[in-house]
Amino acid sequence: MKAFVIDKQSKLPLHFQIYEDIKGKIESKKLQAGDKIPSEKELQTLYDVSRITVRRAIHDLENEGFVKKSQGKGTIVCSTKQKYDLKRLSSFSEDVKEHGEISSSIIREFKIVKADHKTAYSLGILEGEEVYYLERSRLSGDTVVGLHKAFIKKTDEISLDRLEFDETTSLYERLKMKGIQLKYANEILEAQMPDKEIKKGLGMKDNIPIFFKERITYDTSGVPIEFVKMYYRSDVYQYKVTLDVNDGSKNL
């Protein structure tokens, strides 16, 4: 690993400069998941700093999930988390493509079910009416990152069949082909502890919290089309929100 020259005259702390250098190499994929970074002693020599400074930089990288210490292997680069913007409505396929990865799905279940109370309320239909149910594990590259359980309104315009879906099919693109133009969605995001079923769908072994989202998606006429429950692994997924100052606010 090639180190940049630490600026010891800078106001930035030395450990932060090292942190930023290694983080940059991970994000640019000069250091990839599974790569071993140099030992503390080697980093001390590379950056010409004290062992304490190196340890603090590694500690910060570990806290942020960029590296992890593995017994007998040293410090290993973790899979970098993919950031997703909460400001716009997009499909999973579009999100993954923006990060330069290939999206795919494992179709776990497709069937017609009777809407329970919550699904019916969300889709603006009567309880017991038939809806399509599509459950998929979602992959970015070779990694399972999400599990989607979608309930889609069943109408004359929206006629779906299991054979329409393979590992690369986008539901939103499929709806668009049927003349259904999606316009906006309402979402709720929270943290959850996954049960055994969800962990299996996410390919998880560790008992760690996950992101859970509920989304109701509407067409251009404001008619609800989809109610979906989405589960995402927090070790590979993170969300980004851009906040603007309200024009009417005088004080912050």
User: How would you write the pLDDT of the chain (252 residues) with one tens digit per residue?
Assistant: 666 778 888 889 999 999 999 988 887 888 887 889 999 999 999 999 999 999 999 999 888 778 888 777 889 887 666 666 666 666 676 666 665 666 788 999 999 999 999 999 999 999 999 999 999 999 888 888 899 999 999 998 899 999 889 888 889 999 999 999 999 999 999 999 999 999 999 988 888 899 999 999 999 999 999 999 999 988 777 777 777 776 665 565
Instruction: Give yes or no for a contact between 73 and 32, defined as CB atoms under 8 angstroms apart.
Output: no
Cα–Cα distance measured from residue 81 to residue 66, given in angstroms and rounded to the nearest whole number = 8
pTM exceeds 0.75: no
Q: Report which of 57, 113, 90, 89 is spatially closest to residue 184, judged by C-alpha positions.
A: 89
Question: Domains (ranges, CATH) in the chain?
Answer: 14-77 (1.10.10.10), 82-240 (3.40.1410.10)
Proportion of the chain in helix, strand, coil states, percent, rounded to 5: 25, 35, 40
